[in-house]
Structure 1
Amino acid sequence: MAYEQILTERHDDVLLITLNRPERLNAWTPRMSAELVDAIDAADSDDAVGAIVVTGAGRGFCAGADIEATFNAQLDGDDTAARPKATRSWVDVVRTCKPIVAAVNGHAVGVGLTMFLPADRIIASTAAKFSLRFVKMGLVPELASSHFLPARVGFAAASDLMLSGRIIDAEAALAVGLADEMVEPDVLLDRAIEQAREYGENPKPQLRWIKELLTVNADEPDIELVQRRELEYLERAYASTEHKQAVQAFLAKGSKQ
């Protein structure tokens, strides 16, 4: 796929994806969504890529859905305008791919925020702004954000942010748990790439299995089922080449001391 609304750039073993509609504060469109899925899938199948970072060009991260290209077009009769043309859900893409870090450089509003609530880490610039403004547009949140937001910030804070639609700054986002880390703008990308690389240097099958376990078990009330799932994955891990190599490396290191 030829990309029109995103940019991709390799930083050794990390793929940097940049939302690239700076004149619109990188407002979301179905085309952008399709390009993101394509780029993430390509990185996922590339053994030279260990992890992924997503950021925005210019002053914004993603200022929500493009009103003209999505909502207005939908009101004019285009029922597909506000829906990505994808064969699987966005949440499935994010939760089954290699480690993915969101580097929030500016405004992350509406879908520009909910699209990365399922990410493995959210690092915010001190210039970032966050808002779940769906209610202001007469809408409700999507992309499983009514699950992932309470999981990140708790029920009370999630309810407040969604019912008010207010904009909060990076410091407030960090305090409530919406952002995992806050850094100055000039080091945001370096820090996000560093964090992504730390994840990506670990064994790839085990990274996927851990993400899968977190996805299915984080909200699972049946503790016996949680443990059974873990044991199933643990059996795979015990039989893996990566586990055997790790044990051998540990023993070899110990014998040299």
Structure 2
Amino acid sequence: MTFEQITEERRDDVVVLTLHRPERLNAWTPRMTAELVEAIDAADADDAVGAIVVTGAGRGFCAGADIEATFQAQLDGDASAAAPASDRDWVALVRETKPMVAAVNGVALGVGLTMFLPCDRIVASDRARFSLRFVKMGLVPELASSSFLPQRVGFGAASDLMLSGRMVEADEALALGLADEVVPHDDLLEVAVARARSYGANPAGALRSIKRLLTANATEPDTTVVQRREIAALKEAYASPEHAAAVEAFLSSRR
């Protein structure tokens, strides 16, 4: 696929994917998702890539769904207008791929916010602004955000953000846990790439297993089940060449 709505850049072992419809504040379209899925799959299959960063071009990260291309088209009778142009489960893709860091450079509204909630780290510019504006459009949130948002900010804050649709500035987003860190705007991409690289430098097998455990166990109430999953993952890790190499490297350093 020829990318029209995103760009792809390699920074050594980190792939930077940029939503690229700056004239529309990178408003979401089905094609944008299809292009992101293809780029993430390619990065995931490349052994030279350790991690992925997603950001936006221009003043915004993503201003939500393109109302003309999606909502109005649906009202005009195009039932497929707001459906992703890919049969991939976005949330499963983000949780199963290499470490992903969101670098939120500006406004992030609606799906422009929910799309990065499953990411491993959310780094925000001090100019970033957030809103779950679904209710303002007579809609409900998606992409498992009614699960991920309470995990990040707590039930009360999630209720407030979803029921009000209000705008949240970067400092409040940090205080709530909607963003994991806020940095000066000009430092955003450098910090996000450094965070991603620090994750991707670790053994790939362990990274995937940890992400799977977090996905499965974060809302699992049965600690017996939680431990059973961890023990199964540990048995696989003990047998991995990455673990053996790490043990040998430690012992060699002591010798």
Write out aligned runs for 1:160-175 (5 A): 160-175=160-175
C-alpha distance in 2, partners of 1:223/1:168? 35
Shift of 1:53: 0.3
Shift of 1:88: 2.2
C-alpha distance in 2, partners of 1:240/1:129? 43
Q: How many residue pairs were aligned?
A: 255
C-alpha distance in 2, partners of 1:86/1:6? 15
Structure 2 SS opposite 1:61: strand
1:93 is aligned to 2:93: yes
What corresponds to 1:142 in structure 2?
142
What corresponds to 1:105 in structure 2?
105
Unaligned stretches of 5+ residues in structure 1: none
What corresponds to 1:54 in structure 2?
54
Matched to 1:62, the amino acid is C
Identical positions, percent: 71
Structure 1 SS opposite 2:61: coil
1:14 is aligned to 2:20: no
C-alpha distance in 1, partners of 2:15/2:110? 25
Q: Is the 8 A contact 2:8 2:15 kept in 1?
A: yes
TM score, norm. by length of structure 2:
0.99
Matched to 1:159, the amino acid is S
Q: Is the 8 A contact 2:37 2:88 kept in 1?
A: no
Shift of 1:217: 0.6
Unaligned stretches of 5+ residues in structure 2: none
What corresponds to 2:131 in structure 1?
131
RMSD: 0.5
Task: Give CA deviations for 1:132-178 in whole Å, capped at 9, x if unaligned.
Answer: 00000000000000000000000000000000000010000000000
TM score, norm. by length of structure 1:
0.99
Task: Give CA deviations for 1:37-78 in whole Å, capped at 9, x if unaligned.
Answer: 000000000001000000000000000000000000011111
Shift of 1:86: 1.8
What corresponds to 2:194 in structure 1?
194
What corresponds to 2:230 in structure 1?
230
Matched to 1:185, the amino acid is H
User: Larger deviation: 75-84 or 236-245?
Assistant: 75-84
Structure 2 SS opposite 1:3: coil
Shift of 1:198: 0.1
C-alpha distance in 1, partners of 2:204/2:231? 19
